């Protein structure tokens, strides 16, 4: 029964704060923080139970029962599940504490805590689900929470636009996800994970006719449809455009939802459904190529962005691509390992951004920062730890998990070797923009607005303590044996994932990856510290390349020109041609006819008795005439 409380405690906090927030006000955090740390303790208990025994299955109650369609609300808790439970509850708990300081005095304080409690509940239910419908329902629930939290400052048009964009873009991917769930039931007659996995091999040869010309494997179709949802939720190309704009929400939400938990749901889903994906090499290739392209594509954008949160946001898109690439190549353990380590150091970087933003009175442009390392020492050193972990510098957690992916990719065939090279190029770019962020924001002369420069100081302990804990986790998570813990539940293409760590090839890749990281930092130092002004000269020398990166390869403009404007124009045509010209005209036409005839009939109602007598006489004559004639 204790496992039921893991998601129910945050849900209870949501109900209490949501219903009584008007009276609770500034004390809302006591309820939310207590609930999430209760879930954390229970998650630790579940971790111990699963580590010492078999997976835990629970059926809470029968949800839907109609003919052969039967779905229960239940839990499937194995090693993959408990790893995600610990990630969600630890990061969520630290973000809750950080929020106390960050959102202090803000309007909507209790509403904010109610929403993050609801998100935590939804994410926990998602990772604990034992069937596809429960997964889908809470997949949508975390999307709803993301919409609510991005638009928390609803009086800002930019926040409203970003929330709407995130919601709409995710609906594109989730439409495919929903079709995939329907197809699973149509083929297997059940939505339970274990029953579908058990019957998957027997359906591997089944094909569907697509477009009247192509025969596509049914498992390939299912995997691609489900992956469409992952492309949206985990911000993979081409549905990545919502995530950077989501930075309009409060920084704690950037750390919780858009770095460490919700956006990893797509990677978790692919890893959870490894028994299906391993039976579809075509779908695996699509996942791997999409992830690899997203990784380097987003990294090329991050190197020129000037908004401190957008740099980290594009870094998140890139690292999610890394994880997805690993899963597509069958090295699920490496992908999930990087997901867990990334959750620590990326949450740290986002919260570090929040500390800088608060200290500078909500300034986010790194060109108006500089010289902060002495004034914000805790923020600076924790930010440096997060940055070197992101860059994959040796002895950090990012070094171990990144190398797991690169070595696994290199040993996964021709496609894997190609993507490993892409991964190494991405590693160089990652180190470059991570170091650039540190050097421009914290080093050099101060470019801070003079009226704020004298008031810069570290935030309250509720904000700095989570930074220090996450900084420690950014190192420690590389040494706690995560791959070994997950290997038994995350198979490779033909058995447990193996990355051949002792081979000369593996050692060479580790050395090259480390050199790429160090080289990226050295290049950033040379451009932004060693030769001030060099970055501007390089931008002037290659204006086209710089413009492409700075303008995010014009993806938003392309979508606006090819999708948004044609859609709004088509809607306008339909409105004018159908709503106004047909529907409104018909309705208004009926009203006009009724009005006209009522006006004509009104003329007969003169109120004079002699007129009525004359009408009766004429009527009698007419009736008599008709009777005589016919």
**pLDDT, tens digit (0-9, with 9 covering 90-100), for 29-46:** 899 999 999 999 999 999
Residue 500 pLDDT level (bands cut at 50, 70, 90): low
- Termini Cα distance of the chain: 90
pLDDT at 502 over 70: no
DSSP annotation string for 63-80: EEEETTEEEEEEEEE-HH
- Statement to judge: residues 223 and 280 lie in one domain: yes
Global pTM reads 0.90
pLDDT at residue number 494: 39
Q: What is the pLDDT of residues 433-457, one digit of tens each?
A: 999 999 999 998 888 888 877 878 8
| Counted domains in the chain | 2
- Statement to judge: residues 392 and 518 lie in one domain: yes
Final residue of a structural domain among 506, 534, 554 = 554
pLDDT at residue number 496: 39
Q: Which of 356, 360, 345 is nearest to 379 (CA)?
A: 356
pLDDT at 315 over 60: yes
Q: How far is CA 288 from CA 291, 331, 335, 450, in A?
A: 5, 10, 11, 49
Q: In this predicted model, which residue has the larger pLDDT, 390 or 488?
A: 390
Q: What is the pLDDT of residues 186-233, one digit of tens each?
A: 999 999 999 999 998 888 888 887 766 778 889 999 999 999 999 999
Q: How far is CA 66 from CA 69, 72, 137, in A?
A: 5, 12, 18
Q: Which of 324, 240, 316 is nearest to 553 (CA)?
A: 240
Number of H helices, E strands in the chain: 28, 6
Residue 495 pLDDT level (bands cut at 50, 70, 90): very low
In the chain, the percentage of residues whose pLDDT exceeds 90 is 60
Among 256-270, 316-330, 357-371, the range with the most confident prediction by mean pLDDT is: 316-330
Please give the Cα distance from 239 to 177 (Å, whole number).
14
Average pLDDT over residues 239-246: 91
- Statement to judge: residues 129 and 28 lie in one domain: yes
Say if CB 411 and CB 501 are below 8 A apart.
no
Q: Cβ of 209: how many Cβ atoms within 10 Å?
A: 9
- Statement to judge: residues 464 and 609 lie in one domain: no
pLDDT at residue number 317: 95
Tell me the residue range of the domain where 501 lies. 2-554
Please give the Cα distance from 599 to 483 (Å, whole number).
84
Final residue of a structural domain among 554, 578, 599 = 554
Please give the Cα distance from 292 to 232 (Å, whole number).
16
Please give the Cα distance from 425 to 431 (Å, whole number).
10
Query: What's the chain's average pLDDT?
Result: 89
- Statement to judge: residues 56 and 198 lie in one domain: yes
Q: Whose structure tokens read 């839990």?
A: 75
Characterize 35-49 residue by residue with b for buried, 16 or more Cβ atoms within 10 angstroms of its Cβ, and e for exposed.
bbbbbbebbeebbeb
Question: Which residues partner with 484 through β-bridges?
Answer: none
Q: At what angle do helices 109-128 and 265-272 cross, to 10 degrees?
A: 10
- Statement to judge: residues 430 and 574 lie in one domain: no
Q: Whose structure tokens read 């309705």?
A: 587
Q: Whose structure tokens read 């995010």?
A: 552
Final residue of a structural domain among 494, 520, 554 = 554
pLDDT at 179 over 80: yes
pLDDT at 519 over 70: yes
pLDDT at 615 over 70: yes
Please give the Cα distance from 36 to 46 (Å, whole number).
15
pLDDT at residue number 121: 95
Q: Cβ of 299: how many Cβ atoms within 10 Å?
A: 27
Helix (H, G, I), strand (E, B) or coil at 129: strand
- Statement to judge: residues 519 and 588 lie in one domain: no
Please give the Cα distance from 335 to 329 (Å, whole number).
10
Please give the Cα distance from 230 to 240 (Å, whole number).
11
pLDDT at 611 over 80: no
Q: What is the pLDDT of residues 529-586, one digit of tens each?
A: 888 888 888 888 999 999 999 999 999 999 999 998 999 999 999 988 888 888 888 8
Pairing of strands 491-492, 214-217: unpaired
pLDDT at residue number 457: 85
- Statement to judge: residues 28 and 175 lie in one domain: yes
- Statement to judge: residues 536 and 614 lie in one domain: no
pLDDT at 105 over 50: yes
pLDDT at residue number 492: 52
pLDDT at 152 over 60: yes
pLDDT at 501 over 70: no
Q: Which of 7-16, 221-230, 410-419 has the lowest mean pLDDT?
A: 410-419
For the stretch 108-112, contacts whose Cβ atoms lie closer than 8 Å and that sit 24 or more positions apart, written own/partner, are 108/152, 109/25, 109/26, 109/28, 110/17, 110/21, 110/22, 110/24, 110/25, 110/26, 110/28, 111/17, 111/18, 111/21, 111/152, 112/149, 112/152, 112/250
- Statement to judge: residues 448 and 504 lie in one domain: yes
Q: What is the pLDDT of residues 372-411, one digit of tens each?
A: 988 999 999 999 999 999 999 998 999 999 999 999 999 8
pLDDT at 159 over 70: yes
Please give the Cα distance from 59 to 75 (Å, whole number).
7
DSSP annotation string for 477-515: TTSS-HHHHHTTTSEETTEE----TTSHHHHHHHHHHHH
Say if CB 334 and CB 401 are below 8 A apart.
yes
Helix (H, G, I), strand (E, B) or coil at 429: helix
- Statement to judge: residues 85 and 180 lie in one domain: yes
- Statement to judge: residues 548 and 434 lie in one domain: yes
Residue 499 pLDDT level (bands cut at 50, 70, 90): very low
């Amino acid at each position: 029964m204790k496992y039921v409380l893991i998601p129910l405690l945050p849900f209870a906090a949501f109900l209490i704060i949501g219903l009584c927030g008007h009276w609770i006000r500034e004390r809302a955090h006591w309820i939310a923080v207590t609930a999430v740390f209760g879930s954390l303790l229970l998650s630790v208990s579940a971790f111990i139970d699963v580590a010492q025994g078999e997976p835990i299955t629970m059926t809470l109650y029968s949800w839907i029962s109609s003919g052969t369609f039967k779905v229960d609300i239940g839990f499937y808790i194995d090693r993959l599940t408990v790893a995600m439970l610990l990630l969600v509850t630890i990061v969520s708990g630290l973000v809750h504490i950080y929020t106390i300081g960050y959102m202090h005095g803000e309007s909507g304080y209790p509403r904010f805590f109610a929403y993050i409690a609801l998100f935590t509940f939804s994410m926990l239910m998602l990772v604990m689900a034992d069937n596809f419908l429960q997964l889908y329902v809470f997949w949508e629930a975390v999307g709803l929470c993301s919409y609510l939290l991005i638009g928390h400052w609803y009086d800002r048009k930019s926040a409203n636009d970003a929330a709407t964009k995130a919601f709409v873009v995710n609906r594109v991917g989730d439409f495919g996800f929903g079709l995939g769930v329907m197809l699973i039931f149509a083929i297997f007659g059940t939505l339970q994970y274990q029953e579908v996995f058990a019957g998957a091999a027997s359906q591997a040869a089944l094909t569907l006719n697509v477009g009247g010309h192509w025969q596509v494997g049914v498992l390939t179709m299912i995997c691609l449809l489900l992956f469409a949802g992952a492309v949206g939720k985990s911000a993979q190309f081409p549905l990545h455009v919502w995530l950077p704009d989501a930075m309009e929400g409060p920084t704690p939400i950037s750390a919780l939802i858009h770095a460490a938990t919700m956006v990893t749901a797509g990677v978790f889903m692919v890893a959870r459904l490894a028994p299906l994906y391993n039976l579809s090499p075509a779908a695996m290739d699509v996942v791997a190529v999409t992830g690899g392209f997203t990784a380097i594509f987003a990294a090329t954008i991050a190197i020129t962005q000037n908004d401190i949160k957008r740099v980290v946001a594009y870094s998140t898109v890139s690292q999610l691509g890394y994880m997805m690439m690993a899963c597509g190549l069958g090295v699920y353990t490496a992908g999930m390992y990087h997901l867990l380590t990334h959750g620590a150091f990326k949450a740290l970087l986002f919260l570090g951004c929040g500390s800088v933003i608060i200290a500078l009175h909500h300034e986010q442009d790194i060109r108006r920062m500089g010289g902060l390392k002495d004034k914000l020492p805790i923020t600076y050193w924790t930010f440096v730890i997060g940055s070197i972990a992101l860059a994959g510098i040796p002895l950090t957690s990012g070094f171990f998990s990144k190398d797991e992916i690169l070595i696994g990719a290199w040993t996964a065939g021709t496609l894997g070797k190609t993507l490993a090279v892409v991964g190494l190029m991405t590693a160089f770019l990652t180190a470059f923009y991570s170091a650039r962020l540190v050097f421009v924001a914290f080093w050099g002369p101060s470019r801070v607005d003079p009226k704020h420069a004298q008031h810069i100081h570290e935030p309250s302990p509720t904000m700095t303590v989570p930074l220090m804990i996450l900084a420690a986790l950014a190192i420690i998570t590389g040494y706690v044996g995560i791959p070994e813990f997950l290997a038994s539940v995350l198979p490779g293409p033909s058995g447990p994932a193996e990355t051949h760590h002792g081979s000369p090839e593996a050692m060479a890749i580790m050395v090259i990856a480390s050199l790429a990281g160090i080289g990226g930092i050295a290049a950033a130092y040379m451009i932004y510290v060693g030769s001030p002004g060099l970055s501007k000269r390089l931008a002037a020398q290659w204006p086209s390349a710089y413009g492409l990166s700075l303008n995010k390869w014009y993806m938003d403009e392309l979508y606006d020109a090819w999708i948004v404007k044609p859609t709004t124009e088509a809607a306008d045509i339909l409105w004018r041609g159908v709503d106004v010209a047909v529907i409104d005209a018909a309705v208004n036409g009926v009203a006009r006819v009724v009005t006209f005839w009522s006006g004509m009939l009104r003329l007969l109602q003169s109120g004079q008795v002699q007129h009525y007598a004359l009408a009766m006489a004429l009527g009698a004559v007419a009736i008599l005439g008709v009777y005589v004639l016919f």
